[in-house]
């Protein structure tokens, strides 16, 4: 048994918040009865659910790795009419949405799914999902600066958790460093690099958990195989168990 608004969202009818509005407006029937109470629980496998007179079908769960280009908004819509993630998924019949956000001026790996449980686990802080970035920074950070990132730096919202950091390229006036973090603070990598005196000039996310953008070009996506989804959920389960033991 699951909440009715959750079932409607999983079926691709609307977002959970929009589904709540449909329920409150009396546009949803369960087994021939209009339901207006939020939190009503139903069985999607046996209950007969109609929205505006149409029978809902349980939506197939799908998850994609998307190589988000620069200057694309990681949301379902944008009042300024800028390009958003759904613009790239118009031919996918399921209502898929981005998992978390990747900044407007950052490119790279973004998961797009209609699997609410998977999305919630990836976003929840207790799972400490690793995110790897390649940052091109102004100037050449010395070893002391890199060590600050490894130990944690003080930002306006507190000390960051230790990061894995590796210098991968040095040029005359800039450098590329690889950073792996598991927190999800707003613009965290950019703020960390600025805090050590080396602001980010370009940023790309290359890995999330055990998934990478290898083989994809900007704007391209591919669907995860069932084995990849299984491995990802197993990884998340392992992280949760380790955190419980701490």
Could you list the active site residues? Answer: 103
H helix count then E strand count, the chain? 6, 17
Strand pairing class (33-34; 54-55) = unpaired
Alpha carbons 124 and 99: distance in angstroms, whole number? 11
Alpha carbons 173 and 223: distance in angstroms, whole number? 39
Chain centroid to CA 79: how far? 21
| Helix, strand, coil in percent for the chain, rounding step 5 | 30, 30, 45
Quickly tell me which residue has 């055990």 as its tokens.
210
Q: What are phi and psi of 178, to 5 degrees?
A: -100, 125
3-state secondary structure at position 82: coil
Alpha carbons 115 and 103: distance in angstroms, whole number? 22
């Amino acid at each position: 048994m699951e909440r009715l608004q959750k079932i409607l969202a999983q079926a691709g009818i609307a977002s959970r918040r929009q589904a709540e509005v449909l329920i409150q407006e009396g546009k949803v029937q369960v087994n021939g009865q209009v339901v207006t109470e939020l939190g009503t629980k139903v069985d999607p496998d046996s209950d007969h659910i109609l929205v505006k007179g149409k029978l809902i079908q349980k939506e197939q769960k799908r998850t994609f790795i998307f190589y988000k280009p620069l200057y694309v908004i990681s949301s379902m819509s944008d009042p300024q009419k800028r390009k958003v993630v759904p613009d790239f998924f118009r031919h996918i019949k399921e209502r898929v949405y981005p998992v978390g956000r990747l900044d407007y001026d950052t490119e790279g790996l973004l998961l797009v799914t209609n699997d609410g449980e998977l999305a919630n686990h990836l976003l929840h802080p207790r799972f400490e999902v690793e995110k790897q970035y390649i940052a091109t920074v102004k100037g050449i950070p010395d070893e002391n600066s890199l060590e600050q990132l490894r130990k944690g730096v003080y930002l306006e919202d507190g000390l960051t958790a230790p990061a894995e950091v590796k210098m991968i390229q040095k040029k005359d006036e800039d450098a590329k460093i690889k950073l792996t973090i598991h927190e999800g603070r707003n613009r965290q990598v950019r703020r960390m690099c600025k805090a050590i005196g080396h602001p980010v000039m370009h940023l790309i996310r290359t890995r999330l958990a055990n998934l990478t953008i290898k083989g994809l070009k900007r704007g391209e996506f591919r669907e995860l195989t069932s084995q990849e989804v299984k491995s990802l959920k197993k990884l998340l389960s392992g992280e949760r168990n380790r955190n419980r033991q701490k």
